[in-house]
Amino acid sequence: MEFINWKGIAESLLFAAGDEGLSLKQIAHVLEVEELQAREIMDSLIEDYSNSSRGIMAVELAGTIQLVTKKEFSPYLKKLVESPSSASLSQAALETLAIIAYRQPITRTEVEEIRGVKTERPLQTLSAKALIKEVGRAEGTGRAYLYGTTKEFLDYFGLKSIEELPPLPDKISEEEDSFQEEADLFFEKFQELDS
């Protein structure tokens, strides 16, 4: 009988699930075991993490099990998040983010039509910083990815929901200049909040 590293597999699953975490039912389904066995595996993994000097731990929150960083390391994580290299966005990324925030869900082609330039790199940057994500596929030929903002976007700008975005001017034109003004208004408002 071959040895199955259940805890290693479970750890991999939790890592892949990220902030969403996994329910015990999901873990049991993927591992193809009963929930009772999945509970034993997860309890053992949680115990291993709590007895180690690692920087992460496994916890159960709101019905899901997830990997999180240990509280004692939060000052270092805060420094990382607040460092200029990770906090600053280029003008192109800011413009792209404003377009996505106000017009979501939106395809890359639609963003490029509004900006008038390619947006592949700003999209990659925004995705890497978890400010935007793919939220579906457009109907029709090619079924292009649709982009929308994330919970991290809301956190970054101190918003409870997307409805709290600053209002746009009454007359919204499809022209590039008008949208540039909209983007500027959006980011000026948040730069005031940041300072």
Give residue 180's pLDDT: 59
**Three-state secondary structure of 128-152:** HCCCEEEEEECCCCCCCEEEEECHH
Kindly state the helix (H) or strand (E) to which residue 69 belongs, with its residue range: strand 64-69
Highest mean pLDDT among 2-16, 33-47, 171-185: 33-47
DSSP 115-131: HSS--HHHHHHHHHTTS
**82-194: CATH architecture:** Orthogonal Bundle (1.10)
Full-model pTM? 0.47
Give residue 156's pLDDT: 81
**Hey, what CATH class is 6-73 in?**
mainly alpha
pLDDT category at 194 given cuts 50, 70, 90 is very low
How many H helices and E strands in the chain?
A: 10, 5
Tokens of 3: 């040895």
Give residue 146's pLDDT: 93
**pLDDT tens digits for range 61-114:** 878 898 888 888 888 877 776 665 555 778 888 889 999 999 999 999 999 999
Tell me the Ramachandran region of residue 139: left when phi exceeds 0, alpha when psi lies from -120 to 50, beta otherwise. Answer: beta
pLDDT category at 42 given cuts 50, 70, 90 is very high
Identify the CA nearest to 68 among candidates 107, 20, 109: 20
Give residue 29's pLDDT: 92
Give residue 79's pLDDT: 77
Type of residue at 132: I
List the chain domain ranges: 6-73, 82-194
Same fold, 6-73 and 82-194: yes
User: Which SS3 state, helix, strand or coil, does residue 53 take?
Assistant: coil
Give residue 155's pLDDT: 83
Helix 91-103 × helix 120-128 angle, to 10°: 80
Place of tokens 């918003």: 159
Tokens of 184: 């500027």
Give residue 195's pLDDT: 47
**pLDDT tens digits for range 146-193:** 999 999 888 888 888 888 888 877 655 454 455 556 556 666 655 554
